[in-house]
Structure formats: C-alpha cells, structure tokens
Chains A and B, each alone.
Chain A
Amino acid sequence: MTDNQNPLSPHIQIYRWHISSLLSITHRISGVINLLSLILIFFWVLFLSFGESNYELFLFILNSFVGKFILLGFTWSMSFHLLSGIRHLVWDFGYGFEIRTANISGIIVIISSLILTVIFWLLARGLI
C-alpha cells in the first residue's frame, strides 16, 4: 500500500479552538435545532386541526417547565442562527475576514443572541 501524501484536515480533538471555529459548528447545530422548531410549528398547526381538546393538551405540554425550557432554547437557537447568518452574509460580500474583525464580530454574535433571546421572549410572552 502506498502512503497517502494528501494533507490531513486538522484533527478536531487536538485543534486549537478559536471563536470562528466555535461559531461555525454552533451555526450548523443551531440550524438543525431550528429545523426542530419548524417541526414544532408543524405540530402546532396539526394539533390545532385536531380540535380544541387536543390543542389544550399541546398547550399544556408547551407551558410545562420542560416545554418552556425547550421553547427558550429554540428561541436562543433562532437568535443565534439569525445573527450568525448575517455575519456569514457579510463575509459573502467580502467584508470582515481580518482575524481581529472576525473575533469581534463573533463575540458580538454570542452576546447579542443572548440579549435578543431575552427581549424576544419577554415581548412574545407579553411580559413587557
């Protein structure tokens, strides 16, 4: 067998993490979680079509402690994916590639996603 001389990808366990790599994998994970959110909306409409008693059961699950925790997690995932997606779009136009700029925009995405989650949740639940 001949030796494969192709360069290897950086091994994920020994690769030094930096903010852009962390945000890159989190962007993918949050995208998959957003797909679950869309499936949750699908079940919302489905239970609505089943009639009032079934819909009450759906609301009961959604308003339980676990339900609220999941909804809050989905809200953060949506906020993060939205802001990180804007960062990617800016990159697509050729801006923000400098290491310092990429690091700062990454930190802004993380902090803003948390702030947006709180504001979104408070507004949606009618708490402010």
Chain B
Amino acid sequence: MKEARKWIVHRISAVIVAPLFVWLFFSLISLSTKNYQEAIYFFENSLFRILTIALFFTGFFHAKISLGEIFEDYINNKKIKDVANILALILSIIIPIIILILLIKI
C-alpha cells in the first residue's frame, strides 16, 4: 500500500474504530457485573453482533498499520521486521475470522 493511501485509510479506520471500541469496552465492563444469560442476551442482538464483527475487522486492520509503523521505527534487522509484519498480518486476519465464527454460533 502506498504511504499516502496508508496514512488516509489509517485515519479513516481510526474514526470508525473509536466509537465502536468505546461502546464494546463499556459493554464488557458493564456486563462483567452481570451473569451469563445477560451476556448471551447482549450478543443475540443482530445489530450488536454486526457492530462487534465490524470492530474486530476494522480494529485489527488499524492495529496492523500502526504496528507496521512501530516495527519500521524500532526494528533495524529487516528479517525480524518482515517476520513481525507477517505475524501481525496473520493475527489481524485470524482473530476477526474466529470472532465472526463464534458470533454466528452463539
């Protein structure tokens, strides 16, 4: 991805992620005082499930770009940097896919 385009999509993804992250993190803290049924009831809401999936795909995409910048600034060795970038890429694909599968099953 070209640097200018990466910079723009990083900002756009930040604007999408921010409200979704605040909402879901608030829900986590709030539901941590409630029981299992309340949490299941929360995720039975289709809109909440879609928003959660959207957060994970956009959030990990945003994190992948951010981690790439950190690796670029702090890792000198090219091989280690490439491995770190590949691991971040794998993580940013696998976790959202697992969340998608889990939420379909709940």
Chain A hits for B40, CB < 8 A: 48
How many chain A residues touch B (Cβ–Cβ < 8 Å)? 36
Q: What is the predominant secondary structure among interface residues of chain B facing chain A?
A: helix
Residues of A within 8 A of B25 (CB): 37, 41, 74-75, 78
Main secondary structure of the interface of A (DSSP, over half): helix
In the complex, chain B residues whose CB is within 8 Å of the CB of A34: 21
Residues of A within 8 A of B63 (CB): 31, 35, 38
Nearest B-chain residue to A74, judged by Cβ? B25
Asked if A120 contacts B26 (CB within 8 A), the reply is: yes
A74: shortest Cβ distance to chain B, in Å? 7
Indicate with 1 or 0, residue by residue over B20-45, a CB within 8 angstroms of chain A CB atoms.
Answer: 01101110111011001001100100
Whether A125 and B39, one on each chain, are in contact in the complex, defined by CB atoms closer than 8 angstroms, is: no
The answer to whether B33 touches A55, judged by C-beta atoms less than 8 angstroms apart, is no
Find out whether the CB atom of A40 lies under 8 angstroms from the CB atom of B28: yes
B29 partner, pick from A35, A45, A124, beta carbons under 8 A: A124
Q: Does B102 contact A (CB under 8 A)?
A: yes
Given A41-B28, A124-B29, check contact A46 B102 (CB 8 Å): yes
